[in-house]
Chains A and B, each alone.
Chain A
Amino acid sequence: MNELKKRIKYNKFLSSIFLIIGLLSTLVGLFLLTVLFVDLFIDGYPRLTYKFLTSFPSRIPEKAGILSAWVGSFLILFVTALAAIPIGVAAGIYLEEYGRKNWITNIIEINIANLAGVPSIVYGLLALGLFVYFFKFGESILTGGLTLALLILPMVIMATRESIRAIPNSIREASYALGATKWQTVQWHIFPYSLGGILTGIIIGLSRAIGETAPIITVGALTFIAFLPSPPITSDFPFLSFKWLFDPFTAMPIQMFNWVSRPQKEFQVNAAAAGIILMIMTLIMNGLAIYIRYRFRKKIKW
């Protein structure tokens, strides 16, 4: 009997030890994330001024800024969103609502799962061969945006599908019972109800895109750009210009990479400052995504 009691005690002890190990393993990541942010902040804080945001890169570290980088990042993100959102959402809707269980939807499904696992730099090589040299878009904002659109397309598709899958069938059946067609059902019921999940997926995808470096280096983003792309609005008719799409570009992560790889300490301070801004951008986007998911979950109760 004593033997048994001892064993039970030992096992309970082991179990509670693991409680601590498990909790620590979970917290290691959070701890490092905090350290990372604090380290970056301490290193980069002195350079974080208004002038840093409004200056072009320069040979003199104290005068260098990230103007061309953040403008470039926003323009690329705009192209990415314009390309990836409609195609991704449409593909997701097709696969959930229209696709019959046959070999072609099966292939599409396997293919999307596989695309999500392709390293981002391979997308860069694809874009280099396809957009830069085959379609002759050059090393431009358009190429950069489309490259990142390819990269986040699987994410948008998967988020759309997951969000649509959560809608109970009774909603669809009620709509059909009132004589609605398939598209009317999608347009007035499926789409509004899944919008929260879709938006969350899109924002998380875009936040990945803003931090991606490798694929846009491959398509030829430049590291030193001391001018802005041509303005999208002109004074002459037709007042809109798309010349900026074909301008060379740089982006936030590229600028940071350039500064990190220099041996001088002063440039590394610049890198830290750019890193802080990049981190803030991603944290805001991720926070927004979590908030939207939370709001929609609260609003809709099946």
Chain B
Amino acid sequence: MKIKKFKERIIESLLFICAVSSIFITLSIVVVLSYETFGFFKEISIVEFLTGTVWTPLFEPPKFGILPLVTGTLLTTFIALLVALPLGLMSAVYLSEYAPHRLRETVKPILELLAAVPTVVYGYFALLFLTPILQKFLTELSGFNALSPGIIIGIMIIPYVSSVSEDAMRAVPMHIREGSYAMGATKFQTAFKVIIPSAFSGIAAAFLIGISRAVGETMVVAIAAGMMPNFTINPYEPVQTLTAYIVQVSLGDVPHGSIEYKTIFAAGMVLFMMTLIFNIIGFWLRKKIREAY
């Protein structure tokens, strides 16, 4: 009996260690990023970093203003959201309110494949398929631009937006829907005037997940956006995002401890902070819907 109890204890502690290890991952992300970022700020002033509009750390004379990378990231994210939010929301309304059960169960796994396609394949698609097509209509579009990767990222994140919003809409209790139908409302009116407002925090959470995915997306922009840190909001021009810069530096041979090496951690820190804010708000909103019903 005693041996049995002892064995149970050992197993429980082993499982506990595995569960706690996830906290260590987060801690080490924070420690590694902050350690190298502090090293970076010993050499470069934080004011120059956050307000400078020229980012040329790999050239002479090096300039370390992060703003071009931030605007590049926000620009591609914004374009992606213009695509993903309406399409994701419409398809969530359709799947949750209109679609017959069988259709929903078949379409959902296939839709999720959109998120499973390797991102370098999407990059190929953006650079060699979408950009040439867009150039036929938009003559001033350059071969590398923010528009085409933005659109592709938008398509990529549709499943994230639609599946979380759909869950939120389906969590709205049936009697609320029935109340609306009893008043003579159509499905359309019920969906947009009753279901969407009641599922609002869940839908907002879905949007935030989408935003955080788009901000962190790397390969599509690294391939199709052109690796040019332009301080611009013109979607026809080439840009560079935070993520694409990290890839660009990692592809070269960067000596450990050099200032170039530290810049990728500083860029990573900015990226981590941006996504962390979106994730925390999203997590809080999802928790709120779970409490609501």
- Residues of A in contact with B (beta carbons under 8 Å apart): 8, 11-12, 14-15, 17-19, 21-23, 25-26, 28-30, 32-33, 35-36, 39-40, 43, 86-88, 90-91, 93-95, 98-99, 104-105, 107-108, 110-115, 117-126, 128-130, 133, 150, 153-154, 157, 181-183, 204, 207-208, 210-214, 217-218, 220, 223, 253, 256-257, 260-261, 268, 271-272, 275, 278-279, 282-283, 286, 290
- Contact partner, B116, options A19, A120, A271, A282, Cβ 8 Å: A282
Q: Which residues of B contact A118 (CB under 8 A)?
A: 29, 216, 272, 275-276, 279
Closest-CB distance, B109 to chain A (whole angstroms): 5
- If the complex has contacts A26-B94, A268-B128, A278-B121, are A94 and B247 also in contact, measured as CB distance less than 8 A? no
| B275 A119 Cβ-Cβ under 8 A | yes
| A26 B91 Cβ-Cβ under 8 A | yes
Q: Which residues of B contact A121 (CB under 8 A)?
A: 216, 218, 243, 246-247, 268, 271
- Residues of B in contact with A (beta carbons under 8 Å apart): 4, 7-8, 11-12, 14-16, 18-23, 25-26, 28-29, 32-33, 35-36, 86-88, 90-91, 93-95, 98-99, 107, 109-114, 116-125, 127-129, 155, 158-159, 162, 184, 186-189, 191, 209, 212-213, 215-219, 222-223, 243, 246-247, 250-251, 256, 264-265, 268, 271-272, 275-276, 278-280, 282-283
Does more than half of chain A's interface fall in helix, strand or loop, or is it mixed?
helix
- Docked Cα-Cα span, A86 to B21, in Å, equals 12
- Docked Cα-Cα span, A268 to B223, in Å, equals 12
| B189 A94 Cβ-Cβ under 8 A | no
| B14 A40 Cβ-Cβ under 8 A | no
- Docked Cα-Cα span, A76 to B251, in Å, equals 19
Q: Which residues of A contact B246 (CB under 8 A)?
A: 121, 124-125, 214, 218
| B28 A257 Cβ-Cβ under 8 A | no
- If the complex has contacts A26-B107, A93-B15, A119-B243, are A257 and B120 also in contact, measured as CB distance less than 8 A? yes
- Docked Cα-Cα span, A15 to B28, in Å, equals 52
- If the complex has contacts A25-B90, A93-B15, A118-B275, are A183 and B8 also in contact, measured as CB distance less than 8 A? yes
Q: Which residues of B contact A12 (CB under 8 A)?
A: 186
| A286 B271 Cβ-Cβ under 8 A | no
Q: Which residues of B contact A268 (CB under 8 A)?
A: 124, 128
- Closest residue of B by beta carbon distance from A286: B116
| A22 B123 Cβ-Cβ under 8 A | no
Q: Which residues of A contact B123 (CB under 8 A)?
A: 257, 260
- Closest residue of A by beta carbon distance from B280: A114
| B272 A257 Cβ-Cβ under 8 A | no
| B282 A94 Cβ-Cβ under 8 A | no
| A39 B125 Cβ-Cβ under 8 A | yes
Q: Which residues of B contact A133 (CB under 8 A)?
A: 256
- Closest residue of B by beta carbon distance from A20: B94
Q: Which residues of B contact A33 (CB under 8 A)?
A: 110, 113-114, 117
Residue among B112, B117, B120 with max Cβ neighbours from chain A (10 Å): B120
Q: Which residues of A contact B95 (CB under 8 A)?
A: 22, 26
- Docked Cα-Cα span, A201 to B217, in Å, equals 22
Q: Which residues of A contact B222 (CB under 8 A)?
A: 214, 257
- Contact partner, B124, options A110, A124, A183, A260, Cβ 8 Å: A260
The 5 closest A-B pairs by CB, nearest first: A119-B216, A22-B94, A211-B118, A129-B32, A25-B90
- If the complex has contacts A26-B107, A129-B32, are A213 and B189 also in contact, measured as CB distance less than 8 A? no
- Contact partner, A125, options B26, B121, B189, B265, Cβ 8 Å: B265
| A130 B32 Cβ-Cβ under 8 A | yes
- Docked Cα-Cα span, A280 to B218, in Å, equals 22
Residue among A125, A182, A290 with max Cβ neighbours from chain B (10 Å): A125
Closest-CB distance, A220 to chain B (whole angstroms): 7
- Closest residue of B by beta carbon distance from A254: B120
- If the complex has contacts A15-B188, A275-B120, A275-B124, are A25 and B250 also in contact, measured as CB distance less than 8 A? no
- Docked Cα-Cα span, A15 to B212, in Å, equals 33
| A217 B109 Cβ-Cβ under 8 A | no
| A108 B20 Cβ-Cβ under 8 A | yes
| B32 A98 Cβ-Cβ under 8 A | no
Closest-CB distance, A255 to chain B (whole angstroms): 9
| A114 B186 Cβ-Cβ under 8 A | no
- Docked Cα-Cα span, A182 to B9, in Å, equals 10
- Contact partner, A36, options B93, B117, B247, B268, Cβ 8 Å: B117
- Docked Cα-Cα span, A65 to B35, in Å, equals 41
